[in-house]
């Protein structure tokens, strides 16, 4: 049976950040009730769609919101429910997203006992003004403490998130944040170019001209600085915004595991692939792999069908209490749509598996002159059966993808099945 990944969305935050477009609410008192709903959703979904039941979970990811607002007791109830329906792999990567302002040694130890083996801290910046602008509840000191506590609790796979290209960001401030991040010696760093997402408070501020977005050329320079600085520090960029500490990490301890074999989500870019890549996220960027999801606004993708839940805890609760799955929509992808997704997802991360792509979609990708041009331009490289973005290529991923898409004439691809089918119409 094909392995599976699970995503669980914990929609609570002490305070919403100015840039964030994930669904969350600030009323923490609904937490207990939510855990009950979430476990019911797991039962209901597996009763209605038995297909994922009994499959092996290779990765589990608690995202949000702020999953670290869950107490170990609450987490235990959810994990028990998952274990009752799925087989959790021995080496399952089990990630909790944590806000540095919400963790204690005791809580982290509790998580560890429940099987959590990877922590991802939303640090974002080490600059006090930037943290204030972003609306974070923690400070730089708490961020450093959180990582220290994680190590003390025995976590050997710790990641931090950073955000750059903040309005008016000076290079020196970014350099300082990068230096501090590297000094923390974490196993993984996600560094995101700030996106002003529709519907966020930041979007309104930009519309009102109260905040001026960084010039795109300037933000491209900052992106290149991030890439170079992290590469110099021994981090392998394996996705546009994700960097895994390599085997030869500077000043660190050699990692215990042997290198992964080629295939199944781990690929070299001329060197050995790092073990510290986020395996769960690689599933999103594969385009072929299945993941099941629970919680408001969560998206799942099983056998070419994508479905997602309502982005409202209230509605989510009402639907579950009414005995309905809290889904709002689904889409069944056409072959052309899958082709587009596989292309851009694999390209943006560890590289497109050319032979598989060609055989599934009937293409002959490497024969396309556009591919040759992009290789000549230093945007792509073809290696070990993969078509990968170069460091420069990562900065042009969207442009490269649309160029490759333009090669296909998709006049006949207007398949109505690709449109959303409201769930209401299915009942």
Partner 1 sequence: MTLDKIRNFCIIAHIDHGKSTLADKLLLETHTIEAREMSNNQVLDDMALEQERGITIKLHAIQMKYLGLDGSDYIYNLIDTPGHVDFTYEVSRSLTACEGALLVVDASQGVEAQTIANLFLAIDAGLEIIPVLNKVDLQSAMIDEVSQQIIELIGCKKEDIILASAKSGIGITDILEAVRLRVPPPQGDITAPLRCLIFDSVFDSYRGSIVYMRVFDGTIKEGDEILFMATKQKYRVEEVGTLRMGREKKTQLLAGDVGYLIAGVKDVKDTRVGDTVTHFRGGAPEAISGFKLAKPMVFAGLYPQSAEDFAMLRDSLDKLALNDSSLIYEPESSVALGFGFRCGFLGLLHMEIIQERLDREFNQNIVTTVPNVEYRVMTTKGDTVIVDNPSSMPEPGRIEYVQEPYIKAQIIVPTEYVGAIMKLANDRRGIYKTVTYIDTTRADIHYEFPLSEIIFDFYDKLKSISRGYASLDYEFLEYRESDLVKLDILLNGDPVDAFSTVVHRDKAFEWGKKLCSKLRELIPRQMFEIAIQAAIGAKIIARETISAMRKDVTAKCYGGDISRKRKLLEKQKEGKKRMKQVGRIEVPQEAFMAVLQISD
Q: Which residues form the interface with partner 1 (CB under 8 A)? A: 7, 22, 63, 192-195, 216-217, 219-221, 223, 240-241, 281, 284-285, 291, 293, 297-301, 306, 308, 331, 337, 340-341, 344-345, 348, 370, 373, 377, 379, 394-403, 405-406, 409-411
The least distance separating partner 1 from the CB of residue 396, rounded to whole angstroms, comes to: 5
Name which of 173 and 220 has its Cβ closer to partner 1.
220
Q: How far is the CB of 165 from partner 1 (least distance, A)?
A: 9
Q: From the CB of 85, what's the least distance to partner 1, in Å?
A: 20
Closest to partner 1 by CB, 107 or 280: 280
Q: d(Cα 426, Cα 332) in Å, to the nearest integer?
A: 13
* Residue with smaller CB distance to partner 1, 18 or 153: 18
Q: Shortest gap between Cβ of 406 and partner 1 (angstroms)?
A: 6
Taking residue 336's Cβ as centre, other Cβ atoms within 10 Å add up to 17
Strands 4-10 and 291-294: parallel
**Minimal distance, residue 164 CB to partner 1, in Å:** 9
- Nearest-approach distance from CB 341 to partner 1, in angstroms: 5
* Residue 190 beta carbon to partner 1: minimum distance, rounded to whole angstroms: 9
Taking the complex as a whole, how short is the minimal distance between the CB of residue 372 and partner 1, in angstroms?
A: 11
Task: Tell me the two tokens of residue 143.
Answer: 């961020």
Q: Tell me how long the chain is.
A: 427
What whole-number distance in Å separates Cα of residue 411 and Cα of residue 172? 49
Query: Of 86 and 284, which has the nearer Cβ to partner 1?
Result: 284
Name the β-bridge partners of 25. 12
**By C-beta, is 147 or 298 nearer to partner 1?**
298
Q: Which two tokens stand for residue 223?
A: 């992106």
In 246-290, DSSP assigns E strands to none
Structural contact between residues 112 and 154, judged by C-beta atoms closer than 8 angstroms: yes
* Closer CB to partner 1, 151 or 299, in the complex: 299
- Look at residues 290, 292, 135, 125 and name the one whose alpha carbon lies nearest to residue 205: 135
> Going along 165-313, which residue ranges are E strands?
188-193, 235-239, 242-245, 291-294, 299-302, 305-309
154: tokens are: 């025995």
Residue placing its CB nearer to partner 1 in the complex, 153 or 181 = 181
Which is closer to partner 1, CB of 273 or CB of 379?
Answer: 379
Nearest distance from C-beta of residue 256 to partner 1, angstroms: 29
Backbone φ and ψ of 93, nearest 5°: -80, 120
Residue 100: strand pairing partners? none
Q: How far is the CB of 401 from partner 1 (least distance, A)?
A: 6
Q: At what angle do helices 397-406 and 369-376 cross, to 10 degrees?
A: 150
Query: Among 73, 58, 70, which residue's Cα sits nearest to residue 10?
Result: 70
Pairs from 82-85 (Cβ < 8 Å, separation ≥ 24): 82/6, 82/42, 82/57, 85/42, 85/43, 85/46, 85/52, 85/53, 85/54
Q: Please give the C-alpha separations between residue 255 and each of 125, 230, 411, in angstroms, as whole numbers.
A: 27, 18, 50
CA–CA dist 328, 326 (Å, integer) = 7
**Residue among 177 and 281 whose Cβ is closer to partner 1:** 281
Report how far Cα 226 is from the mean position of its chain's Cα atoms: 19
Nearer to partner 1, 249 or 285 (CB): 285
């Amino acid at each position: 049976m094909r392995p599976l990944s699970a995503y669980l969305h914990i929609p609570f935050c002490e305070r919403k950040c100015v840039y964030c477009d994930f669904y969350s609410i600030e009323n923490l008192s609904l937490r207990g009730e939510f855990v009950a709903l979430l476990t019911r959703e797991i039962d209901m979904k597996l009763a209605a769609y038995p297909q994922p039941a009994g499959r092996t979970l290779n990765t589990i990811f608690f995202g949000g919101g702020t999953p670290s607002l869950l107490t170990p007791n609450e987490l235990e109830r959810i994990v028990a429910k998952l274990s009752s329906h799925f087989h959790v792999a021995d080496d399952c990567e089990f990630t909790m997203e944590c806000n540095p302002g919400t963790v204690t040694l005791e809580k982290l130890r509790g998580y560890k006992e429940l099987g959590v083996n990877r922590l991802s801290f939303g640090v974002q910046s080490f600059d006090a003004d930037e943290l204030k602008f972003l609306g974070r509840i923690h400070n730089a000191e708490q961020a450093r403490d959180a990582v220290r506590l994680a190590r003390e609790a025995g976590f050997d796979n710790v990641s931090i998130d950073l955000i750059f290209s903040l309005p008016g960001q000076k290079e020196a401030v970014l350099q300082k944040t990068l230096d501090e991040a590297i000094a923390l010696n974490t196993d993984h760093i996600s560094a995101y170019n700030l996106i002003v997402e529709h519907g966020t408070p930041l979007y309104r501020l930009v519309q009102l001209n109260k905040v001026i977005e960084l010039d795109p050329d300037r933000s491209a320079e900052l992106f290149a600085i991030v890439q170079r600085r992290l590469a110099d520090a021994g981090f392998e960029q394996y996705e546009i915004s994700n960097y895994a500490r390599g085997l030869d990490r500077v000043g660190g301890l050699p990692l215990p595991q042997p290198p992964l074999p080629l295939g199944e989500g781990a690929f070299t870019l001329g060197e050995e692939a790092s073990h510290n890549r986020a395996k769960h996220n690689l599933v999103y960027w594969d385009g072929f792999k299945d993941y099941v999801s629970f919680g408001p606004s969560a998206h799942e993708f099983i056998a070419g069908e994508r479905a997602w839940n309502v982005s409202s805890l209230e509605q989510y609760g009402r639907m579950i209490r009414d005995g309905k799955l809290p889904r709002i929509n689904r889409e069944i992808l056409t072959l052309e749509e899958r082709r587009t997704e596989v292309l851009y997802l694999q390209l943006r991360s560890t590289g497109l598996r050319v032979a598989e792509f060609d055989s599934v979609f009937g293409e002959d990708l490497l024969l396309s002159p556009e591919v040759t041009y992009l290789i000549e331009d230093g945007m792509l490289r073809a290696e070990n059966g993969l078509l990968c973005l170069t460091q420069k290529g990562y900065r042009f991923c969207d442009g490269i993808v649309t160029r490759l898409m333009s090669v296909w004439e998709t006049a006949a691809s207007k398949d109505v099945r690709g449109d959303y089918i409201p769930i209401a119409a299915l009942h």
